[in-house]
Each structure stands twice: as C-alpha cells, then as structure tokens.
C-alpha cells in the first residue's frame, strides 16, 4: 500500500510541477507561444495560410482576473512560488528515499517526526492534483476556482497534520507546511475574487475580509501543527508580497496584511516556546 501511495504522490507531483510552471510562464488564456505566433505572417491568414485563431479557438475568458498566486507579478510572490516548487520536489524525493529504505529493511533514525504513512501520501497526492488543476479552473471561473482551491487546501492540511493523534506525533515537515500555507492563501485569494467578481463587493473590502478569514484559519492550523512553522512562514511571505504590492495603492489592504503578519508571528512564538 505504501508503494502505491508513493506512486500516486509522485505522479501528482510531476503533474503539479508541469502544470504550475506552464501556467506561471504563460501570458494568459492563449499562452505565450500563441501570442508570439500572432505576430508571424502565417498566423494572420497571409500567404494563403488559414487564420490561426480559427484553428485554435480560445473560449472567452472569465471576467475575473487570473489567480495571482499561480502567476504572480511581484518579486516576493514569485519567490514564494519557486519555493513551493522546490518544497514539493524535495518532499517527493525525500519520501521516495524513505520508502526505498524501508523496502530494503534499512532502519533510519528520523529527526522530523513519524515516517510517511500511506494516508499522508494519498492526502498529498490529492492536494497536488487539485493544485495542478486549480489555476486553470480559476482562470475560467472564479466560483469553480474557489471550490477547487478549497479542496486542495483541505487535502494539503490533512497531509501536513498527518494521522490524527497526540501533538508529539504530528509530523514536522517544513516542505509540506510551505505547500499547505500556499494553498490556504490561494483559497482565500479565490474567495476574494468571488466576493469582487460575483457579489459586487469592493476590492478593498473583499481583500480585508479574505485576510481576516485567512488569519483565523492559519492560527487554528498552526496551533495543531505545533513547532512545524513552514505553514505560517509561507503565509507570512505571501502577506509581505501583498503588503508590498498594495502599499502605494490601498492602505487598508496593507494594514490588514501587516496585522496578519503580526498575528502569525505571535502564534509562531507561542508554539515554539
């Protein structure tokens, strides 16, 4: 069962990395390559070539903006996305070595908690699968994107928490925590997009509401995770990026992000003391 769970997780890891990198590097619904092709002579029907858009029809995009965390513009959020890719890859490699060692009968002294269980790897596989599909769904429909982000964050939190048990048995895996923190921020970013695009809430109010719910969720999860602070660090990093982007445009969003950073910092001190 452990090998099957590992195979599913590795497959989902590859799917997530390919999907996320492709989406991040694409220029929009048509993608970079299709946009560049539009500048070529044969792309516009010249020289007897058929019109490229007629061959590759692109459905009209949803009025909601593309998911910012999956295609970030600010340096801080771009670095966070790269860190998430590295964390996911590291976790997959680490899990592979541990399962291989167990199959060979090699006993390892674990420093980061209990070994990976099949349930944890299956939860991670579900989270990675959802994360692979989420940006493409959210790029077309804000509501469907929020639902996909919700399922993804739920699976990622389950993977970070591991099997339910006493606090000392909670796995301290920073790599999974970073990924889980990123998915939770993605969920509430999608929630803010729904408030703005579907319910007509102002962008400022939607952002403040989303940050408030994000802070409550993050505090509750971090207390359950204990000293595994990668989860909160990823969220704080995202809040720093949001604050940096909004500091000159909307003071309310900046203050909400700073308040979230301060609140999570206090929780981190509490769980590590």
- Give the Cα separation of 152 and 147 in Å (integer): 9
Contact at 8 Å (CB) between 100 and 172? no
Q: What is the structure's pLDDT at 252?
A: 87
Residues of the chain with pLDDT under 70: 27-67, 101-115, 163-172
pTM: 0.79
C-alpha 56/C-alpha 44 separation (Å) is 12
Residue 107 CA to residue 50 CA, distance in Å, equals 63
Name the residue among 153, 122, 158 with its Cα closest to residue 234. Answer: 153
Q: Which backbone phi and psi does 44 adopt, to 5 degrees?
A: -105, 15
Do residues 213 and 145 make contact, with C-beta atoms less than 8 angstroms apart? Answer: no
The secondary structure of the chain, three-state, reads CHHHHHHHHHHHHHHHHHHHHHHHHCCCCCHHHHHHHCCCHHHECHHHCCEHHHHCCCCCCCCCCCCCCCCCCCHHHHHHHHHHHHHHHHHHHHHHHHHHHHHCCCCCCCCCCCCCCHHHHHHHHHHHHHHHHHHHHHCCCHHHHHHHHHHHHHHHHHHHHCCCCCHHHCCCCHHHHHHHHHHHHHHHHHHHHHHHHCCCCCHHHHHHHHHHHHHHHHHHHHHHHCCCCHHHHHHHHHHHHHHHHHCCCCHHHHHHHHHHHHHHHHHHHHHHC
**CA dihedral angle for residue 55, residue 57, residue 58, residue 60, rounded to 10 degrees:** 150
Please give the pLDDT value at position 147: 95
The answer to whether the beta carbons of residues 215 and 235 sit under 8 Å apart is: no
Contacts of 47 by beta carbon, 8 Å cutoff, 6+ apart:
41
pLDDT of residue 13: 95
Half-sphere exposure of 246 (CA within 13 A, CB side): 20
Residue (of 195, 187, 173, 250) closest to 218 by Cα position? 187
């Amino acid at each position: 069962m452990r090998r099957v769970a590992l195979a599913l997780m590795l497959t989902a890891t590859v799917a997530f990395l390919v999907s996320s990198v492709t989406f991040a590097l694409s220029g929009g619904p048509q993608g970079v390559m299709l946009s560049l092709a539009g500048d070529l002579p044969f792309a516009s029907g010249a020289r007897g070539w058929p019109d490229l858009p007629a061959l590759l029809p692109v459905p009209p995009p949803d009025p909601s903006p593309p998911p910012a965390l999956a295609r970030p513009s600010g340096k801080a959020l771009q670095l966070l996305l790269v860190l998430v890719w590295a964390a996911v890859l590291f976790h997959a490699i680490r899990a592979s070595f541990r399962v291989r060692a167990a199959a060979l009968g090699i006993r390892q002294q674990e420093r980061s908690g209990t070994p990976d269980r099949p349930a944890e790897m299956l939860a991670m596989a579900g989270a990675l699968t959802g994360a692979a599909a989420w940006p493409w769904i959210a790029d077309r429909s804000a509501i469907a994107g929020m639902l996909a982000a919700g399922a993804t964050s739920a699976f990622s939190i389950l993977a970070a928490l591991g099997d339910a048990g006493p606090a000392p048995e909670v796995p301290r895996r920073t790599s999974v925590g970073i990924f889980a923190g990123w998915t939770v921020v993605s969920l509430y970013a999608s929630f803010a997009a729904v408030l703005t695009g579907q319910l007509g809430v102002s962008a400022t109010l939607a952002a403040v509401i989303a940050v408030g719910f994000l802070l409550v969720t993050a505090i509750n999860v971090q207390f359950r995770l204990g000293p595994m602070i990668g989860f909160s660090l990823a969220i704080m990093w995202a809040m720093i990026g949001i604050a940096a982007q909004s500091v000159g445009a909307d003071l309310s969003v900046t203050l909400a992000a700073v308040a979230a950073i301060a609140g999570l910092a206090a929780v981190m001190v509490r769980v590590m003391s």
